Chain A
Amino acid sequence: MLHVDGLHASYGPIEVLHGVDFHVDVGEVVVILGANGAGKTTTLRAICQMIDTKGSIQLGGETINGRSTTEIARRGVAHVPQGRGTLTDLSVEDNLLAGAYTRKDGEVRADIDRWFTTFPRLQERRDQHAGSLSGGEQQMLAVARALMSRPKLLLLDEPSLGLAPLIVKSLFAQFAQMNQTDGLTILVVEQNANIALDIAHRAYVLEAGQTVLTGTADELRHDDAVRKAYLGY
């Protein structure tokens, strides 16, 4: 579904990615691991063309370099940015409606109800401003909003950041379930390697703007270097 080859990306004159290669197949959960500053967030931003890129990014066989962010979103890529990017001045419900902005079918209401059932906390706060939610609630809202677009590919940027361990667990359980029941393809960038590898099929390790290691989740879990650097034992 997503093929990235020799990806270079830069913020102004400063190049951050120097050749990143990976691919995500339909129905997979793929995780990208890496330390701070390795270029994980930049990789996701590059996929959505939020920064200047070189190299090839193919989505469903079509090159998407140089397209606008809006257009890529309309092709079924939902991005949950780091820091969540919720629309703080809008109510929870309006956030979800904005998530479904690109949809033309009549099942938007049904989907809102579905995510309200999945995340009951959001239902309780449906008329509150998103800015008044707690960090965990905002993360749920960001995920639910991304899923409102019925994406083909979900990009998650550090969904565990700043959340209590219990919330992180339930969130990742949700991701695993969506992948299994709905066949949702997910690319997740995480520092919390343990939990990310639990739900992932395959993983990549990013170091200083380059992919240095790849394998199935199990292979990586048992790789000595990965274990020392990211799993902490």
Chain B
Amino acid sequence: MSTTQSVNESIGKGYAALGRLGQKRIISIGALVAVLAAFSVIVAVQHGFTLFLQRIFDGLSNGFIYAAMAMALVLIYKATTVVNFAQGEMAMFGTFIAYVFGHSLGIPTPLAIILAMLASALGAAGIERVLIRPFDPRNHLAVTIVTLGLFLILNSLAGVIWAYDNRAFPSPFPGRNRSFSVFGANLEWANLFTWLTVLAAVLLVSLLLSRTKIGLAFRSVSNSLESSELLGIHIGRTLQFGWALAAAVGTLAGTMIARTTLLEPNFMGRVLIYSFAAATLGGLDSLGGAVVAGIVIGLVQTMSGGYIGFIGSDLAPTVALVVIVGVLLVRPSGLFGSKRVERV
């Protein structure tokens, strides 16, 4: 028994030591920035600045997508304190809807995307009403398993309807395949527009949350269920709003990345892993944190894959996993999250 105790104690001490590393937010952020900066300087000197800048651009293009997906995850986490494992598949389904609108009905792509966002918002509102609301919002495991069920249903249904062929998703932006040069590095117009679109979406969501009545209700509910009930706020409808908003943002992210990957029922799997990493790094309940961390993860993915030989593109998901585990061990509330994290 004493061996058990000493092992237990040493495990505890180890965690305490790890925890102390990440206790101060400023120090954690500072350490992260320092590591990234040092790495940037080294590789920029070694391999040339143009290549470095090119990789920054590539990384940003991925990073903004992860930022949008992470934002969707955080929206649902804030509302229901549940990680929506079906978020990626909802985005995939929404992207397919946009594809059908554009391809089969001949609607111009930007309009098709907006319509698909509306459709997925409606769909998510329905899902919330039928599948999520019957459960006590405090019953996290049941809700999590429901999201797993949704994952399966949406993924397989897309397979049944659209099969597993790769489809090209049209770019919604003008200037197809045209790019311009910044200090010798190529930047596609479409990528620039993607960044701006995601930024606009982030701005819109934060305005929606800070300036509107439903946004106030959303913040109130995510702060305290009980107090919100006492204020006469309809909890169910507010959570429904969160689901709808998250689904719309997810669909936007899906259509933005489908342009560069290719569209098939599993295409969001990879994006979801990076978005998990981003949401964890940012702190699951911080919208701003999710956006910043999404961009960081995009950069880390491109840089580590590009400059560190054995990682390449194959091991990039492993890097995401390492980031998730590392953050949770050292600073469980992420870089920007509030302290109350361990809920289940």
Contact = CB atoms under 8 A, between A and B. Distances in A.
Q: Do A and B come from one complex?
A: yes
Contacts of B220: 87, 90, 98, 101
A69 interface: yes
B213 A89 contact: no
Contact of A70 (B222, B223, B224, B234): B234
Interface residues of A, number: 25
B219 A85 contact: no
B226 A85 contact: yes
A163 to B, nearest CB: 19
A209 interface: no
Interface in A26-85: 48, 50, 68-71, 73-74, 78-79, 81, 85
Given A69-B229, A69-B230, A70-B229, A101 B213 contact: yes
B232 interface: yes
B230 A88 contact: no
A73 B231 contact: yes
A97 interface: yes
Nearest to A80: B230
Chain B binding surface SS class: helix
Which interface class (under 10, 10 to 19, 20 to 34, 35 or more) fits B? 10 to 19
Given A94-B216, A98-B216, A101-B213, A89 B231 contact: no
A86 interface: yes
B273 interface: no
Contacts of A73: 229-232
A88 B229 contact: no
A98 B230 contact: no
Given A89-B219, A89-B223, A98 B231 contact: yes
B107 interface: no
Interface string B207-251: 000000100110110111011111111110000000000000000
B219 A149 contact: no
B338 interface: yes
B232 A102 contact: yes
A94 B226 contact: no
A99 interface: yes
Contacts of B229: 50, 68-70, 73
A70 B226 CA distance: 10
The 8 closest A-B pairs by CB, nearest first: A73-B232, A69-B229, A102-B232, A85-B227, A74-B232, A87-B223, A98-B220, A89-B223
